[in-house]
Structure 1
Amino acid sequence: MATSLTIVRQNGNVPKSQNGQDHVSGFVAYLLEADIPAAFKTEPVQAVSTIDKAEELGITADATAWSVKMLHYQLEEVFRINPSITLYVGLFSKPESMTFQELKTVQNYAEGAIRQMAIWNGDTAPTADNIVKLETVADSLDTENAPLSTLYAPLVSNYKNLPSNLATNNPRVSVVIAQAGSGTGAELYKSKDNKTKATVSAIGVALGTLSKAAVHQCIAWVKNFPSGISMPALGDGTLVRTIDKGELEKLDTNRYLFLNNVVGVAGSYWNDSHTMDSPTSDYAAIESVRTMDKAVRGIRTYLTPELGGNVYIDPDTGKLQSYTVSHLETTANIPLEEMEKAGELSGYKAEIDAEQDVLSTSTIEVTIKNVPVGVVRKFKVKIGFVKSLE
């Protein structure tokens, strides 16, 4: 026999890396105490870089508990959409009364780095009270300089009975009612005991997509963000293709996120990037919230070192010296300039009024003006015959 050397390439599932921290994400699930894997009982929050790591921690596709199988599916979907995600997973025993304070536990574990967090609560119907509680926790994190957006996956027992009053003043909360109508997601949904029915959800797809998108990008961008789910459904198992267009428009008007087919394009895509805020708000879309959060984080990073420093006053007018104003405006503009170069802002400007009485107040007010990047949500095309093109 002739000698030979055979080399077999292996896939080590080495986690990819992305620049910056816009992809840093969290995933929270509320399970029965008995179903929580042992590793998460010791430490409820774990860094999970690959599906292999999740399996090492006891989140497996062949687990005894349905909820753990479901969680494995969600994480597989997250890594399928965005292999470069930095992910922190928190598993908690479901409390009698939901407060969602566990989001703080996960964000604190990540040292405030998480930009978006998914919450699976698929055995609990959505209520205005729960949405407000989620917003309250997210707002509290914002005051602690750790802002994030949340994707919430509740129980959908009948899509026609979903509340229509959730979109009030909750810009940091988006409600995901999507689910796969075929494949593993559908099989998991069908396998759940009918007496304790729960929504599987496509929350993993949503989190993967949001973490992959740049902060200014809408997750409904057809060209960039296909879901990979060929047959979309809602959380009650109803296939989207069987739902009347008027019903889907009603769900969209009520600002839910779901997957939909697009005529002439294969696959399915998010209907929009709604938050549970008023549709006329500056923060009605997730990308608006994420863009502003990034700007705020950047400005804080550059201006904080200036605290406690000296500023100079014109002795004749009592105004701030022009070079002091120029220095501070330039400093505040640095992160915004970086965002504009990255295509995340259309324009920006930091302004400081030199008339401020800093000697009396020790306070300098800085006004930041940002021009966002637009999103095309509709095209209106006029077409017809003419005698000539002249």
Structure 2
Amino acid sequence: MSTKLTINRTNGNVPKTLPGEDHISGFVAYLPEAELPENFKTEHVQALSTIDAAEAAGITADSTSWAVKVLHYHLSEIYRVNPAVSLYVGLFAKPTISDNYTFAELKTVQNFAGGRIRQIAVWCGDRNMSADDIVTLQGIGDALAAEAAELSILYAPKVTSIKQITKEAAGTGKSRVSVVICQAGSGTGATLYKDKANSAKSSVSGLGTVLGLLSRAKVHQCIAWVREFPTGITLPAFGDGTLYRDMDKALIEQLDTARYLFFVTQPGQTGSYMNDSHTMDEATSDYAAIESVRTMDKAVRGIRKYIVPELGGNVYVDAESGRLASYSVENLITVANLALEEMERAGELSGYKADIDPDQDVASTGTLDIVIKNVASPVIRHINIKIGFAKSV
């Protein structure tokens, strides 16, 4: 036999990387204490950015725990949709009393990540949908924002009956929370749902898929963008197992109006997509969509980065008029605009402007007010086309 060299290519599952921090994400789940993987009983939060790392930490597809199998499925979906995700996983024991869910564990995960998490998913597949939980989660989001650790929250509760789910959960000021009620109607997600005993049916959810999409999207992009963000879910369903194709159109519209997130099909397209990128805020709010919240959060973080070094510094005053000197004003405007200029170049903003009133009496108050206006990059949610016959064109 002649000499021969054979080279077999293998997949080393080397983590991909993305610039910036917009892809940094978290995943939180509550399990019966006895079912927590051994690695998580002492270290409740771990950085797991590949499926190999997750499996090494005890989150396996062949676990004896149904909940751990579901976790493996969600993490697999996150890595499938966004192989470059940077992911922190927090697993905690379920409260012994159902009313004791404070979701304070989200702070634990964000603190572990040094405040760098931009979006975090919370799986509560065996906990019924609760408007109170949305309020509590919004409170956590507000508290983290006050600590300069802004993030968006994806909440996936148990969907007992999609036809009976509350249509009044959204409301003013709930911009940091989005509620995921979808699920895969085929494949691993559907199998896991069928495997759960009927007497204790829980929702598997499509939470991992949605978090993968959100972590992959740029901050100004809507995860319902058909061209860019197919879900990879062939047969869309809801958390109670009901298939999307079996739902009445009027009920679908009610769920969308109620501001839930779920998988839909699109005419002429294969597979499924997100219905929208709703937050649970009012539809008329500036922060009714996740991309609006993420874009503003990024602007705030950037402005903070450049402005904080100016604290404790001096401004100068025109000795004759008493107004702030023009060169002091222009310098601070330039500094405030630095982050926004970067975002405009990246297409995350259409424009921006910072203003400082030179008549402010900083000498008396020690306070300087800066007014910043951002012009968003709008999302096309509806397209109307007029078409007809003509004698000529």
TM-score normalised by length of structure 2: 0.98
| Matched residue, 2:313 | 309
| Matched residue, 2:206 | 202
Question: Which moves more between the two structures, 201-210 or 1-10?
Answer: 1-10
| Matched residue, 1:85 | 85
Q: Do residues 68 (structure 1) and 71 (structure 2) align?
A: no
| Matched residue, 1:126 | 129
| Matched residue, 2:6 | 6
Distance 2:345 2:223 in 1: 21
1:369 is aligned with what amino acid? K
Q: Cα RMSD over matched residues?
A: 0.6
Distance 2:89 2:314 in 1: 44
Distance 1:177 1:121 in 2: 11
Where 1:350 maps in the other structure, the secondary structure is strand
- Work out the number of aligned pairs and report it: 389
Where 2:272 maps in the other structure, the secondary structure is strand
1:25 is aligned with what amino acid? S
Question: Which moves more between the two structures, 121-130 or 337-346?
Answer: 121-130
Q: Do residues 113 (structure 1) and 116 (structure 2) align?
A: yes
1:362 is aligned with what amino acid? G
Where 1:349 maps in the other structure, the secondary structure is strand
User: Which deviations, in whole Å up to 9, do the C-alpha atoms of 1:267-318 show, x marking residues without a partner?
Assistant: 1000000000000000000000000000000000000000011111111111
User: Which deviations, in whole Å up to 9, do the C-alpha atoms of 1:158-178 show, x marking residues without a partner?
Assistant: 001111121112000000001
Distance 1:339 1:31 in 2: 40
| Matched residue, 1:330 | 334
Q: Do residues 99 (structure 1) and 102 (structure 2) align?
A: yes
Distance 1:3 1:42 in 2: 54
Matches within 5 A, 1:279-358: 279-358=283-362
Distance 1:168 1:59 in 2: 36
Where 1:29 maps in the other structure, the secondary structure is strand
Distance 1:31 1:197 in 2: 15
Report % sequence identity: 62
2:357 is aligned with what amino acid? D
| Matched residue, 1:243 | 247
| Matched residue, 1:260 | 264
Q: Do residues 275 (structure 1) and 315 (structure 2) align?
A: no
Matches within 5 A, 1:108-257: 108-169=111-172, 170-257=174-261
1:106 deviation in Å? Answer: 0.2
1:324 is aligned with what amino acid? S
Distance 1:127 1:118 in 2: 16
User: Which deviations, in whole Å up to 9, do the C-alpha atoms of 1:65-121 show, x marking residues without a partner?
Assistant: 000000000000000000000000000011121110000000000000000000000
1:370 deviation in Å? Answer: 0.3
1:3 deviation in Å? Answer: 1.7
| Matched residue, 1:20 | 20
Distance 1:241 1:83 in 2: 30
Distance 2:326 2:111 in 1: 41
2:6 is aligned with what amino acid? T
Q: Do residues 37 (structure 1) and 40 (structure 2) align?
A: no
Moved over 4 A (4+): none
User: Which deviations, in whole Å up to 9, do the C-alpha atoms of 1:131-181 show, x marking residues without a partner?
Assistant: 000000000000000000000000001001111121112000000001000
Distance 2:118 2:157 in 1: 21
- Contiguous gaps of at least 5 residues in structure 1: none
2:73 is aligned with what amino acid? Y
1:155 is aligned with what amino acid? K
1:42 deviation in Å? Answer: 1.4
2:382 is aligned with what amino acid? K
Distance 1:357 1:32 in 2: 59
- Contiguous gaps of at least 5 residues in structure 2: none
Where 1:339 maps in the other structure, the secondary structure is helix
1:55 deviation in Å? Answer: 0.2
Distance 1:10 1:385 in 2: 57
Question: Which moves more between the two structures, 217-226 or 163-172?
Answer: 163-172
Distance 1:141 1:252 in 2: 28
| Matched residue, 2:376 | 372
Where 1:257 maps in the other structure, the secondary structure is coil
| Matched residue, 2:53 | 53
Distance 1:268 1:153 in 2: 19
Distance 2:40 2:80 in 1: 23
Where 1:135 maps in the other structure, the secondary structure is helix
Distance 1:249 1:165 in 2: 14
Where 2:300 maps in the other structure, the secondary structure is helix
